A and B are shown apart, each in its own frame.
Chain A
Amino acid sequence: MNALAIRRQWRLAIVAVLAVLLVLAPALLPTYPLSVLTEILIFTLFAMSLNILLGYAGLPSLGHSAFFGTGGYAVGLLAKYYGTPAALALVIAVVAGILVAIVTGPFVLRTHGAYFLILTLSLTQVLFGIVWLWRKVTGGDDGLPGIPSPRIPFLVGRISDTANFYYLTLIVVGIAVAAIAWIVRSPFGLALVGIRENERYLEGLGYPTWTLKYVAYILAGGFAALAGGLFAYFKGFVGPGQISWLLAGEGMVMVILGGAGTFWGPAIGALLVLLLRYEVSAFTQRWVMILGIVFILNVLLLPQGIVRLPQRIREIRARLRRETTLAPPLAEATAAAPDRSVERVIERS
Chain B
Amino acid sequence: MEANSTKPKRSFKRPFAFPKNCVYRPLRQISNMERNLKLPAERPTYFTLNAPPSLVPAKKYSDISGLPAPYADPHTKLRFANADEYASMQHMPSDIINGYLTVRGYTSAVG
- Chains A and B are bound partners: no
Interface residues of A (CB under 8 A from B): none
